[in-house]
Amino acid sequence: MFEFMDQKLIIATVMFLFVYGLLDLANQGGKKDSSKNKKHSLGLMYLVIIAMPFISASCSMQDAKESISKFKHDVTLKCFIDEFDYVVSKEEGWSLRANYFTKDSLLIRCDKCEEF
């Protein structure tokens, strides 16, 4: 699952939590009495934000499983890497290695594909 985690989303999450935490400290201004509802809602928000990269990775993993299933059933796929796209199929000489389609020295993640 960790191979599907988006590094940019993780960095954005950490930065958001850091900035929000600083703003929260600045708004408290030394106040010690914070309401329980505010603490609970902040805690819930932190949990949701921390869960976002894992939810994204889970969705990507599901996409990869669907692409692998289609590939095994001889469906031609169109896969994307940056601005390049590749036609992937067994007929074209592609094979499956873990969660990647491979041909010669090229590896393409299975979650970046759609049916051609």
In this predicted structure, the answer to whether residue 65 has a pLDDT above a threshold of 80 is: yes
Give the Cα separation of 3 and 57 in Å (integer): 8
Percent residues over pLDDT 70 in the chain: 91
- Averaged pLDDT, 15-38: 73
Q: Which residue has the tokens 């969705």?
A: 59
pTM score, whole prediction? 0.76
- Residue 11 phi/psi, 5-degree rounding, is -65, -45
pLDDT in tens, 71-105: 999 999 999 988 999 999 999 999 999 999 999 99
Contacts 24+ apart (CB under 8 A), 55-58: 56/4, 56/5, 56/6, 56/9, 57/1, 57/2, 57/4, 57/5, 57/6, 58/1, 58/4
